[in-house]
Chain A
Amino acid sequence: MKIEVIGSGCKKCKSLFELTEVVSRELGINDTVLYSTDVNKIVAMGLMSSPVLTVNDKPVLVGILPDKERLKEIISKNI
């Protein structure tokens, strides 16, 4: 499984990355969460907000830092 956080390098993006790492560990996902600051990836998906969370290259969260429970819900729904 590929879980990736893509952002422009802002504080919100790093926070989302760290939270995603915690949540995926709690969900028992062994794959490492990837972190990219290549904004072109976001634009190429047709999106324009940062950060973006993708599961298997499919965006599941765009432009927002949710709380932990919500993030857990979103990730488990998409794996």
Chain B
Amino acid sequence: MTTFPSASVFFQVLINGVLLGCMYGVAAIGLSLIFGTMRIIFLAQGAVMILAAYCIYWMATLSPINPFFGFLLILPVFLGLGWIMYKGLFQKVAKAGANPSLLLAFGLMVLLEHVMSLIWSPTTRSVITSTSTSSLTLGSINISVTRLIVAAVALMATALVFLFLKKTMLGKAVRAASEDMSAAALLGISPTYVSAVTFAIGIALAGVAGVAACITYPFDPFFGFLFSLKALIAVAFGGLGSVGGPLVGGVMLGVLESMSAYTFSAGWADAVAYAAFLLILILRPEGMLGRRSIEKV
């Protein structure tokens, strides 16, 4: 056990945890959305993230475009990609049940990982930006500029998805479908259309998370799976199927990890995170923010 020698160290660890958590959060929102309407655990989320990371890497090495523009560029491209993925792969399989969908997601993950390592080779890559290692200093606390940008993007992405679900007709349809698909179908909402839209948004969010990851960390084709796992935990923390929940869940996970890495040992940080995850599952299966009604029978 190490205790915090001063308040500033405590805040430094806390802020780092929050910033790290925002990264998990972006990855988790897409996962949660897809789960909400389609009831599948989209294991390939991490692999899709890394695909976006490689696209940015390519863009940054081959052209003088600033990697930060990647956020704007990736969004439409991955929306399209998500749409195609749903129409080409998941629409048919989803009808057969959620189990094959899980398998399909797994197959997609394996395929993407190895195609990426074939195209870009399995060596570690990274994208250097103008802010790569710069930091702001507040008193004795240092805050990474890149991670601050990532946190801002995470907040913006959450807000956008939230607005979309609350304010637009399509968003309302998505929400209705995620509450009760058959009732929504009775109201004239086309389930496939809604699912395709949700899936596309989920993939686009994975793309955004990928851009965020690649400007912060070095990556390789197999880097994504760990993100998938962490995002899964973040989703469980926040409650399956909600929007704000995963972001809060991600932040909780990030804080928990960096706090336990400081006070215990970094080697135990993952175990602490998983244990908290199990506890929350058992005590509050609907997540810290979820509504009680979901799993009541």
A and B interact: no
Q: What is the interface of chain A, defined by CB distance below 8 A to chain B?
A: none
